[in-house]
Amino acid sequence: MEKRVWTVGDVLSWTVNYLAEKGVSSPRQDVEYLLSYVIGTTRVQLYMQLDRPMNKKELTLFKALVKRRLKREPLQYITGVAYLWKYEFLVDKGVFIPRRETETLIEVATFHLKRRERAFIADVGTGTGCILLSLLKDNPSLYGVGIDISPKAMEVFLKNRARLKLTDRAWGLRSDLFSAFPERELFDAVVSNPPYVKSHEIEELQDEIRLYEPVEALDGGRDGLDFMRRLIREAFPRIKRGGFLCVEVGMGQAEAVTFLMRRAGFTGIEVEKDLSHIERVVTGWKH
């Protein structure tokens, strides 16, 4: 019997239906990414190759990746990359996957840093480095340090720093908040997307997050604000006069974070919403 030839188009439509039947939430997007990864092309170019037959090696690799996705492994851990702002970041198991809503924090910080010359920034809980590296890449007069307690995050941060050619302006430091950083060094700005999920809500998160993402990147303690309380208190003395602290917050946390910032001495506090109209970023100034 003649063996069936599977073209890119056949594989695309068959797998989209299959993943949809299995309850994967964005089957077309996932299949597009996995297929382009396997045949080494972009998502757009994929559609120019729909009639191209896939060889045995490609089919075997693709099947293995689809199996991983069916076990709810996030797409970004399978392909090893995530996209945020204008850039591609390497990700790996053990490191938080950058989220779209973090672009609001990058946007707010970019606005406040626009007219600053040689500003020194700390990104606390930097993960892949997506916040700090985006800010530095866009503005060549900035420099800064990405701080993370996780050795794996630091490893990935350093790779992203090299890929984005920022080794001369970005440093990485493994540290519990600012503890390993010299006290006399002051920052023009501190930015952070901290762990802010309430401990008891972690079990209710979707499988992709609950089973695969590092818990220390998510868990904010009983009310989700454990890290935030420490960050706000410890950041204030580390910021220069005229500088600011800009943090991402979870849904419903903006008011409590505003209160914590005011109590620590910050003034002119502003709250910014994300694209879904959720209060997402709180900024406070040290005057």
Ligand X SMILES: C[S@@+](CC[C@H](N)C(=O)[O-])C[C@H]1O[C@@H](n2cnc3c(N)ncnc32)[C@H](O)[C@@H]1O
CB of 68 to ligand X, least distance (A): 22
Cα–Cα dist 143/122, whole Å: 9
Q: Does 87 bind ligand X (CB under 6 A)?
A: no
Q: Does 283 bind ligand X (CB under 6 A)?
A: no
Distance of CA 35 to the CA centre of its chain: 23
Nearer to ligand X, 68 or 152 (CB): 152
> CA of 43: how far to CAs of 20, 31, 35, in Å?
19, 10, 8
Q: Does 217 bind ligand X (CB under 6 A)?
A: yes
Residue 86 amino acid letter:
K
Contact 250, 200 (CB under 8 A): no
Q: What share of the chain is helix, strand, coil (3-state, %, to 5)?
A: 45, 20, 35
CB of 195 to ligand X, least distance (A): 5
Contact 143, 170 (CB under 8 A): yes
Q: Does 216 bind ligand X (CB under 6 A)?
A: yes
Binding mask 182-211 for ligand X (x = CB under 6 A): -----------xxx----------------
Binding mask 89-118 for ligand X (x = CB under 6 A): -------x-x---x----------------
CB of 207 to ligand X, least distance (A): 18
The three-point CA angle 80-84-85 to 5° equals: 150
Query: Residue 220, SS3?
Result: coil
Q: Does 243 bind ligand X (CB under 6 A)?
A: no
CB of 89 to ligand X, least distance (A): 8
| Short-list 255, 251, 250, CA closest to 271 | 255
Contact 108, 281 (CB under 8 A): yes
Q: Does 153 bind ligand X (CB under 6 A)?
A: yes
Q: Does 158 bind ligand X (CB under 6 A)?
A: no
Q: Which stretch binds ligand X (CB under 6 A): 106-114, 119-127, 162-170, 268-276?
A: 119-127
Q: Does 149 bind ligand X (CB under 6 A)?
A: yes
Contact 70, 24 (CB under 8 A): yes
Instruction: Find the binder of ligand X among 126, 160, 258, 283 (CB under 6 A).
Output: 126
Instruction: Find the binder of ligand X among 31, 104, 119, 125 (CB under 6 A).
Output: 125
Structure tokens at 285: 């100034």
| Short-list 269, 239, 271, 238, CA closest to 254 | 271
Q: Does 133 bind ligand X (CB under 6 A)?
A: no
Task: For residue 266, count other CB atoms closer than 10 A to its CB.
Answer: 22
Q: Does 36 bind ligand X (CB under 6 A)?
A: no
Residue 264 parent element (H or E):
helix 254-264
CB of 185 to ligand X, least distance (A): 16
Instruction: Find the binder of ligand X among 30, 58, 103, 148 (CB under 6 A).
Output: 148
For binding to ligand X (CB under 6 A), which residues are involved?
96, 98, 102, 124-128, 130-131, 147-150, 153, 176-177, 193-195, 216-217, 227
